[in-house]
Amino acid sequence: MGKSSSSLKTNLLKTFSMLIAGFLMVFLSSSQPFESPQFQSANNFEHLLSQGFNQGNPFELDLNKLDLPALRNAYLALDENEKYTGTEFPFFDALTFEKLVELQQAYPEVKTSIHYKSPPEKLGLKSEVFEQWKKTKHITLTIDDIEKETSDLNNYQPDDFAMFLVRETEKNGFLKKASYSVSLMTNEYYFGKYLKSRKKIELIQAVYPSAEKVVVAYGQKHVETADGKTTKISPENYEASIFHQLRVIDPTQLKWELIKPIKYDNSKSFSIIITRDDRSVITFMKLPTI
């Protein structure tokens, strides 16, 4: 009887322990934030891309710092919405990616960086200027692109604003005071417009052992639709051609070609700028697509 009672107690304890363990597993798992596979893939892509940004400058990305195969896999896992809302880096079709990898492998002879459009610098608003606006009758006012009354300024402090723009709309004249337009942008609006919005590529730059830089003003090869018609913006193999040419050119030798410049068809070429750090000489020319 004692052995049977002891065995029963042991089994009850085991069952109770299993129930407690199961409850804890469910509780702990439910306390973790749920992330869908799509959300995880978007986070993974952005994380991999962030490895290439320079410290202190989140708008300049060094190509040599990126794990390109992993980045491509993460990009291909994104849905169409995520591809067009995340940080711009659409260089993953077969030919473009091949040329991108080859350009990365040319480092350090060719140091390539991708520059994103950076937000305008914030402008400090002086208290005395702000107070003067409150008293002025000859101004029109907008705050965050919405028309406001001058009295609405009483709801704000100078530190609430990230940017301002003042324009004279009517000059001072005989018995008439000048009129002005004042546009203000709050810190929250500035954040949403410039920092929270999608990062878009502005320039692709390569630096060579001669210390010369070649810069390409980047424009996507998307299409424009007007009146139901579709028109290509960029030439065929646009991105692939950029990466290929940046890898194989010698900017010092390219300048000699300007003596007898080749006239390339706009649909089969793209423009580059050759310069140095001191910007003493700036050369504009075209390169052919591949």
List the chain domain ranges: 38-117+199-288, 127-195
Distance CA 163, CA 160 (A): 10
Q: Annotate 223-276 with DSSP letters as a single string.
A: EEEETTEEEESS-TTHHHHHHHHHHH--HHHHGGGGGS-----GGGEEEEEEE-
pLDDT band at 281, cuts 50/70/90?
confident
At 5, is the secondary structure helix, strand, or coil?
A: helix
The pLDDT value given to residue 154: 95
The one-letter amino acid code at 126 reads: K
**Confidence (pLDDT) at 147:** 96
Model confidence pLDDT, tens digit, residues 140-183: 999 999 999 999 999 999 999 999 999 988 777 665 677 889 99
Token couple for 174: 């005989």
